[in-house]
Amino acid sequence: MPHLDQVLNDIDKDLDNSLQRLFAWLRIPSISTDPAYKADCRGAAEWLAGDLSAMGFAASLRDTPGHPVVVAHLPKPGAPHVLFYGHYDVQPVDPLDLWEAPPFEPRMATLSDGRKVISARGACDDKGQVMTFIEACRAYKVTTGSLPVGITMMIEGEEESGSINLPAFVQANREELKADVALVCDTGMWDRDTPAITASLRGLAYYEVIVRCADRDLHSGLFGGAARNPIHVLSRIVADLHDDSGRIAIPGFYEGVREMPREVLEQWKKLDLTPEDFLGQVGLRIPAGEKDRLLIEQIQSRPTCDANGIVGGYTGEGTKTVIAGEASAKISFRLVGDQDPAHVGEVFERFVRARIPDDCSVEIVRHKGSKAIQLPHDMPVLKKAQAALSDEWGTDTVTIGSGGSIPIVGDFKRTLGLDTLLVGFGLDDDRVHSPNEKYDLTSFHKGTRSWARILAAIGA
């Protein structure tokens, strides 16, 4: 890989300037959910398009019904082409009084353990992470006159408000967005020393179950003992969802679930994610999932079922002796492997209906469904990125799964036919979405160097 050492050297030398550019962008309060910041969102998009244009990208703002998308192209004939995705919008900042410094006045700070950090709203999520990629490109361009691969960037302004206009945008511009692979910088490292690539995302199937018994609310004194109580019917359904071993007890539910390759499981075992480390942070200590699975499997590679909400009868202060006419629950599943949301919907509905008494009824609303995403474990780009990250951080790169879904990755696959490599440098203590968001200077600096290495590897 010619020039790489020189590029890395230039990244080191230019770090202060890189930070000043990031700070300029961080000063623009691009809060996408709050209409009061509409002009600021556009301002953040314009700043970015200007910066990319100055680097030689063909960059422009593309209007949507919401905030604009920044699209920038710098092709390289004969080389692989990547589509890089990120977002320039940030979360709201309330409660403001919990911030140690104004959220849109970025500054360097030093933590009690000596770590230097960038402090501001968006320092990590996602302006700081996006700039690691852009600064790597800039260093390549300045140092060598060109990029090692062709690049299209698509940086949106509505990720923190649901990306509602993005799927249609991708669909409408699918020819323009064609690439060989998609890259996203919006995830985290395993820990401060260990780089990670997120290679799988769990899918989602979300239902609402409404059980109806009597045609009105009843007095529990008059009808208690004879009238079917929908809260009991619903509780039975929820209680039956899991067996005593933590396994989901819906017949047919596990169809399509795949075991992880042995080498990934070996790697995960070495990571030794303990209940103390993971659950301790939220006041728990006993993993609730399948008893015969590693904790990391429970949250990354195994399907789950959770009642996300339940309501029925009287829920105010004090007492009311009522037997409700109906009760409802929101129940969702995290899917993995080749689990089909439609099939899950069928077996779930059969499971629920089998538990409804003959004189009661049930309505099942299917809210949304998405399949899991799983990169092929032997995908060449994945292997190249792993090696590049290991070179930069001096330790093996771990391949992890994300427990949650990132909808745009599904759109890239469905609409553009692209696999997505999720590489990010966030840390668990970055306080994204909370007051005093920060991004370690190490994440920013070595993140930039990491992207230079990854681009070089892909282009090689």
Phi and psi, residue 48, nearest 5°:
-65, -45
Stretch that binds a second copy, among 54-62, 99-107, 236-244, 437-445 (CB under 8 A): 236-244
- Dihedral (Cα; 217, 223, 227, 228), 10-degree rounding: 60
Rg of the Cα atoms in the chain: 25
Q: Which lies closer to a second copy via its Cβ, residue 196 or residue 327?
A: 327
| Cα distance between residue 48 and residue 143, in whole Å | 21
Residue ranges in 360-379 that form contacts with a second copy under rule CB under 8 A: 360, 367-368
The reply on whether position 210 binds a second copy by CB under 8 A is no
Instruction: Return left, alpha or beta for 261; rule: phi > 0 is left, psi -120 to 50 is alpha, else beta.
Output: beta
- For a second copy, the binding residue among 39, 98, 168, 222 (CB under 8 A) is 222
β-bridge mates for residue 49, sequence order: none
Query: Minimum CB separation from a second copy for residue 216, in Å?
Result: 6
Residue type, 90: V
Q: Return the SS3 of 418.
A: coil
| Cα distance between residue 293 and residue 304, in whole Å | 13
The reply on whether position 16 binds a second copy by CB under 8 A is no
Phi and psi, residue 337, nearest 5°:
55, -130
- List the structure tokens of 184: 């996203």
DSSP 191: B
Beta strands 420-423 and 181-184, pairing class: parallel
Query: Minimum CB separation from a second copy for residue 207, in Å?
Result: 9
The reply on whether position 240 binds a second copy by CB under 8 A is yes
Each residue 286-315 as x (binds a second copy by CB under 8 A) or -, in order, gives xxxxx----x--xx--xxx-xxxxxxxxxx
Query: Minimum CB separation from a second copy for residue 202, in Å?
Result: 7
- For a second copy, the binding residue among 97, 215, 276, 378 (CB under 8 A) is 215
Residue ranges in 127-186 that form contacts with a second copy under rule CB under 8 A: none
Beta strands 181-184 and 107-110, pairing class: unpaired
Q: Which lies closer to a second copy via its Cβ, residue 11 or residue 204?
A: 204
- For a second copy, the binding residue among 34, 60, 223, 441 (CB under 8 A) is 223
Q: Which lies closer to a second copy via its Cβ, residue 256 or residue 403?
A: 403
Q: Which lies closer to a second copy via its Cβ, residue 113 or residue 317?
A: 317
- For a second copy, the binding residue among 271, 278, 338, 407 (CB under 8 A) is 278
Query: Minimum CB separation from a second copy for residue 109, in Å?
Result: 25
The reply on whether position 276 binds a second copy by CB under 8 A is no
Query: Minimum CB separation from a second copy for residue 32, in Å?
Result: 19
Query: Minimum CB separation from a second copy for residue 197, in Å?
Result: 18
The reply on whether position 60 binds a second copy by CB under 8 A is no
The reply on whether position 359 binds a second copy by CB under 8 A is yes
Q: Which helix (H) or strand (E) holds 5?
A: helix 4-13
- For a second copy, the binding residue among 58, 239, 342, 354 (CB under 8 A) is 239
DSSP 18: H
| Cα distance between residue 424 and residue 451, in whole Å | 10
The reply on whether position 254 binds a second copy by CB under 8 A is no
Size of the residue set binding a second copy (CB under 8 A): 81
Report whether 82 contacts 179 (CB < 8 A). Answer: yes
Residue ranges in 320-339 that form contacts with a second copy under rule CB under 8 A: 320-324, 327-330, 332, 334
- List the structure tokens of 396: 């093996």
Q: Which lies closer to a second copy via its Cβ, residue 224 or residue 380?
A: 224
Strand order in the sheet with 326-335: 326-335, 203-212, 361-370
Residue ranges in 394-433 that form contacts with a second copy under rule CB under 8 A: 402-405
| Cα distance between residue 421 and residue 391, in whole Å | 18
